[in-house]
């Protein structure tokens, strides 16, 4: 397929810049692949589509405050450092993006807070990419506390406002556990403790995988021929217990629902030779676009995504290109909210 086949016009007022007042009261469009039927619900109605023995797989990655503001040594020039991923825990070596890039060179020392944290630039990786080493001798726990106290929650670029106190809570799933993401797995933002409890009471198993969402999730596709697009690698983990729960449901012909495209990537990166889920960990750069034969999940919860984004491509691969693109036009007509803080789609 071609990139231009995923283009559509989205009015600016449908881009959600704040979350719904209550997590579980976002609007939910339900798409039935077998009949092509489209329903309009709210998220807390999701309980009615699942029954005893069904499984929901969540992504329990936790967003950390990855944006740091500081100063260069000697000149005191203001700088911004965006933490992408930790390369070596022992020596606090990180892969980062810097701004202004032309002024931040190998050997420079960078100061954050009242010099609570100091880093040295070790290497240039791309025009804006650097490897930096934090010069911190204290215990790991203290180091992460300092980073958390100085860092700012990185909101998606389309949200043209400063982060507010509510973002710290709302740009994080209620089940976030394993720190490592620079962007939230947004389909999970709609879940509340109450919804999870009601699923549990119904006999639905909710089980996690971990995929640390990187900045690549927002990277634009710049090639018309999709086979030439390369995804950024993201680290993921699928535990043995999760594989057992999912495979039991598959064997019993039950519903297995991936909560979000990041969960789906972790699942599809961990398929065994007999099309079952295997315990796995590593890095995945899997790019899913139509046509694609999904092996594990048979339902998907996902937000409404940007035109020409890899997230939309995966949703279209799963729901069927024509049906999903028709659903997007319906969403625009019905004034659904789009993107990270927007409304949600359930594809059955």
3-state secondary structure the chain: CEHHHHCCCCCHHHECCCCCCCHHHCEEEEECCCCCCEEEEEHHHHHHHCCCCCEEEEECEEECCCEEEEEECCCCCEEEEEEEEEEECCCCEEEEEEECHHHCCCCCEEEECCCCEEEEEEEECCCCEEEEEECCCCCHHHHHHHHHHHCECCCCCCCCCCCCHHHHHHCCCCCCCEEEECCCCHHHHHCCHHHHHHHHHCCCEEEEEEECCCHHHHCCCCCCEHHHCCCCCEEEEECHHHHHHHHHHHHCCCCEEEECHHHHHHHHCCECCCCCECCEEEEECCCCCCCCCCCCCCEEEEECCCCCCHHHHHHHHHHCHHHHHHHHHHHHHCCCCECCCCCEEEEC
pLDDT of residue 18: 95
Report whether 144 contacts 134 (CB < 8 A). Answer: no
pLDDT in tens, 269-280: 999 999 999 999
Contacts of 23 (CB under 8 A, 6+ apart): 43, 170, 174, 189, 190, 191, 192
- Residues 9-13 have a mean pLDDT of 96
Backbone dihedral region for residue 53 (phi beyond 0: left; psi -120 to 50: alpha; all else: beta)? left
In this structure, the number of other CB atoms found within 10 A of the CB of residue 193 comes to 11
Q: Which residue bears the tokens 């990187």?
A: 214
pLDDT of residue 44: 98
pLDDT in tens, 214-249: 887 778 899 999 999 999 899 999 999 999 999 999
- Residues 306-318 have a mean pLDDT of 97
> 67-150 domain in CATH 1.10.1060.10?
no
Residue spans of the domains in the chain: they are 3-63+167-347, 67-150
pLDDT in tens, 68-85: 999 998 888 999 999 998
In this structure, the number of other CB atoms found within 10 A of the CB of residue 280 comes to 19
pLDDT of residue 157: 81
pLDDT of residue 113: 86
- Residues 197-223 have a mean pLDDT of 93
> 3-63+167-347 domain in CATH 3.40.1780.10?
yes
pLDDT of residue 330: 98
Report whether 219 contacts 68 (CB < 8 A). Answer: no
pLDDT of residue 43: 99
Q: Is the pLDDT of residue 160 over 80?
A: yes
Q: Which residue bears the tokens 């972790």?
A: 266
Q: Is the pLDDT of residue 115 over 90?
A: no
Say which range, 62-66, 157-161, 285-289, has the weakest mean pLDDT: 157-161
- Residues 204-223 have a mean pLDDT of 91
pLDDT of residue 168: 86
pLDDT of residue 213: 95
pLDDT of residue 336: 98
Let me know the angle formed at the C-alpha of 307 by 81 and 154, rounded to the nearest 5 degrees: 20
Q: Is the pLDDT of residue 253 over 80?
A: yes
Q: What tokens were used for 201?
A: 């009471």
Q: Which residue bears the tokens 């992408």?
A: 84
Q: Within the chain, what is the greatest distance between any pair of CA atoms?
A: 66
Averaged pLDDT of the chain:
95
Q: Is the pLDDT of residue 7 over 80?
A: yes
Q: Is the pLDDT of residue 173 over 90?
A: yes
pLDDT tier at 289, thresholds 50, 70, 90 = very high
The residue among 256 and 76 whose pLDDT is bigger is: 256
Q: Is the pLDDT of residue 158 over 80?
A: yes
pLDDT of residue 126: 86
94-104 CB burial, b ≥16 within 10 A, e <16? bbbbbeeeeeb
pLDDT of residue 254: 98
The residue among 54 and 89 whose pLDDT is bigger is: 54
């Amino acid at each position: 397929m071609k990139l231009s086949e995923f283009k559509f016009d989205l009015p600016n007022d449908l881009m959600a810049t704040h979350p719904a007042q209550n997590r579980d009261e976002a609007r939910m469009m339900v798409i039935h692949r077998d009949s092509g039927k489209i329903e309009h619900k709210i998220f807390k109605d999701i309980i009615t589509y699942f029954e005893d023995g069904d499984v929901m797989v969540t992504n329990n990655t936790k967003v950390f405050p990855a944006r740091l503001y500081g100063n260069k040594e000697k000149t005191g020039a203001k700088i911004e450092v965006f933490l992408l991923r930790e390369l070596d825990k022992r020596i606090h070596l990180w892969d980062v993006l810097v701004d202004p890039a032309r002024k931040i060179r190998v050997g420079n020392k960078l100061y954050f807070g009242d010099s609570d944290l100091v880093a040295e630039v070790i290497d240039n990786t791309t025009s804006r990419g650097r490897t930096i080493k934090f010069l911190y001798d204290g215990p790991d726990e203290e180091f992460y506390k300092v980073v958390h106290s100085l860092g700012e929650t990185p909101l998606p670029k389309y949200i043209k406002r400063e982060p507010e106190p509510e973002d710290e809570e709302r740009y994080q799933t209620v089940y976030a556990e394993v720190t490592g993401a620079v962007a939230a797995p947004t389909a999970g933002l709609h879940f509340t403790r109450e919804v999870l409890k009601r699923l549990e009471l119904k006999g639905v198993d909710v089980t996690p995988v971990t995929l640390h969402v990187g900045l690549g999730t927002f990277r634009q596709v710049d090639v018309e021929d999709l086979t030439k697009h390369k995804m950024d690698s993201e680290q993921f983990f699928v535990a043995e217990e999760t594989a057992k729960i999912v495979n039991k449901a598959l064997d019993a012909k039950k519903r297995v629902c991936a909560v979000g495209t990041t969960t789906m990537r972790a699942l599809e990166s961990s398929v065994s030779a007999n099309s079952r889920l295997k315990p796995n960990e590593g890095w995945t750069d899997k790019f899913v676009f139509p046509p694609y034969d999904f092996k594990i999940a048979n339902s998907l919860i996902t937000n409404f995504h940007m035109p020409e984004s890899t997230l939309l491509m995966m949703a279209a691969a799963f729901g069927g290109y024509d049906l999903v693109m028709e659903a997007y036009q319906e969403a625009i007509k019905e004034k659904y909210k789009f993107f990270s803080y927007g409304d949600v789609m359930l594809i059955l």
